A and B are shown apart, each in its own frame.
Chain A
Amino acid sequence: MRATVLTNREFLPRYYLMRLHVPRFPPAFSAGQFVMVRPAAVGDPFLPRPFSLMRSAPTHRAARGGGGGRGLGDGAEIEIVYRALGRGTTLLSTLGRGSVVEAMGPLGGRGFRPTAGPAILVGGGVGIPPLVALAESLAAAPRRGRRPRPPTPDPRPQVLVGGRTKQDVLGVADFRRAGCRVQVATDDGSLGRRGLVTDLLETALGKTGNGNEGRRPTVYACGPEGMLKAVHRIALAADVPCQLSLEANMACGFGGCMGCAIPVRGEGMGAYKLCCKDGPVFDARELRW
């Protein structure tokens, strides 16, 4: 569908927040779901790119006010974050307000599935936006009364954000606004603790793990593959549930190309699931990493 660029702002060097108006969108999406976006007029780059959804809001007045169902799903403003790195994203970064792009979504068969226990969110770089979506949905859930408040003394999600430098640290303010406790780690120590975000995770699990069954946290992670592999290893070793939002080269985003294979456990020579249709969020235990 044709989408219109509302804002496209570089908020950190090379990191852009893009807000799009899309003519059709469901009332809500599940954190981890994504949209495929490409500039409308250009055939090169040829393929659209997947971007995790950070926020969506229905544009219809009635829907915004929460009154009546009329207009829900009519259209929406959606937010994505990207890093201008390759040809496709660099081209996206040149688009101004009013530019038209092709957008398809929300896509993704399985987003994050929040559990009742304490939550630890771990992310880095452009893996942060789906975690912001998750944090905001966790914060919103009890208010909407759809999900009982988790029976814990401190339900505030803990968020661990990593980046190479402070110029790669995203989402801290968004997480705080959603009521999360935030810790930061950077490779060079320019913000937060010097080191890896996975060091923070090991510390956090050391504190909360402790065989205290009722307090067993769930880890939700999204970020660079190296980071996710470390999170995967740490979570399995600590025996805590862990959901990972993965990324893969994909041509279509809806199961047509079968390009975005994720190795999963299966009998014999193993098997693959599709990042787009079966994910992008996978349980740590099902991955063949």
Chain B
Amino acid sequence: MKGARAKSPARRAPVGSPAGVRGPKPPGGAPDLRVRIGSLELENPVLSASGTFGYAFEFQQHLDLNRLGAIVVKTVTLKPRPGNPPQRIVETPAGMLNSIGLQNVGIDRFIAEKLPALRRLRPPLVVNIAAESAEEFCELAKRLSDQEGVRALELNISCPNVAGGLDFAIDPLLTSRVVGAVRRVTPLPLIPKLSPNVTDITTIARAAVEAGADALSMINTFIALAIDVRTRRPKIAMGTAGLSGPAIRPIAVRMVWQVARAVNVPVIGMGGIASVEDALEFLIAGATAVAVGTANFVNPGVLEQLVDGLGAFVTEQRLSSVRELIGSVQLPPRGQT
């Protein structure tokens, strides 16, 4: 019963849909790739995924940073963090495990050393923050709300690699508490990043939205374990680690599809995107934008290639804009799956 329904009944006009975009179409017949995430109007739906793009400038010789839809930088914490001991990464089939441990210079040095250059870039800057408590999250949010050039906050409530539990997103109540607390202290759009390591991600998603999330980033890495059979020890020093890369993509697409139907805020889809087709899958599943993570390591120019590729697809398919794709997946009627 292919194509029995033109649109999924659960699909509502997402916030990132055509109504959300103002302003004239791009000139010269260029494909319209604009999307909207909360109050952010993005030139295109291609973002960097936090923790895989450094502070952006590491990549500037490989692509034009100004062509990205938005730039999401590496997690910032209140205090500097040295990160986890090596081994921190290991390759696995079609992906990799990482346990970096949120190595970062801390909020003071981020504001003093990284932000001045970042705020000069054209794409909106999304700063990813992580903390051990709702109070710490609020302090970070307040500090960053005062900074020119910070356009949104991504709340890393799902890091699987830090001892002491920064994994708020495995529990709807903890999620709600953190998101709600930060909501009260900042006017910036809030984008909690959800964990896939849960039984029902829609429960967490709803809790985040009810607490005031403007959009959802999903997903973070899967908790995983690789063992060296000779030493019988984990290949990663800390034991378990986060699995990313193409290996997780179909699960991520499924989760994005589930959540996009369950909430009325835009979803930023990520998990193993390495090609234009991969990005399209997420959009069609219901994501308003996509973020690329692990593929940046293998192909540091991939983000710009995706911007070009999405444009070419919109043109080739004679779409009025990329927004036509969002959530357009054609599903067989219930009961026939």
Contacts and interface: CB of A to CB of B under 8 A. Distances in A.
Interface residues of B, number: 32
A269 B83 CA distance: 10
B150 to A, nearest CB: 22
Contact of A261 (B83, B91, B94, B299): B83
A248 B86 contact: yes
B246 interface: yes
Interface string A30-45: 0000000010000111
B87 interface: yes
B54 A255 contact: yes
B298 A272 contact: no
Interface string B71-103: 000100000001111111111011110101001
Contact of A258 (B93, B100, B299): B100
Contacts of B313: none
A251 B53 CA distance: 12
Contacts of A266: 82
B146 interface: no
B296 interface: yes
B297 A258 contact: no
A279 to B, nearest CB: 13
A251 B89 contact: yes
Contacts of B300: 104, 252, 254, 256
Given A251-B297, A252-B296, A47 B82 contact: no
Given A252-B297, A254-B58, A47 B85 contact: no
Nearest to A252: B297
Interface in B25-80: 52-54, 58-59, 74
A240 to B, nearest CB: 27
Contacts of A90: none
A88 B92 CA distance: 12
B86 A262 contact: yes
Nearest to A257: B297
B298 to A, nearest CB: 6
Contacts of B103: 258, 261, 272
B298 A258 contact: no
A270 B93 CA distance: 33
A85 interface: no
A259 interface: yes
24 contacts: A43-B246, A45-B91, A46-B91, A46-B95, A104-B300, A249-B87, A250-B89, A251-B96, A251-B297, A251-B298, A252-B298, A256-B58, A257-B100, A257-B297, A259-B89, A260-B89, A261-B83, A261-B103, A263-B86, A266-B82, A272-B82, A272-B83, A272-B86, A272-B103
In the A-B complex, the 6 residue pairs with the closest CB atoms: A259-B89, A252-B297, A251-B297, A259-B88, A261-B86, A255-B58
Given A46-B294, A256-B52, A272-B86, 16 more contacts: A45-B91, A46-B91, A249-B87, A249-B88, A251-B294, A252-B300, A256-B59, A257-B98, A257-B100, A257-B297, A258-B83, A258-B103, A261-B100, A266-B82, A269-B82, A272-B103
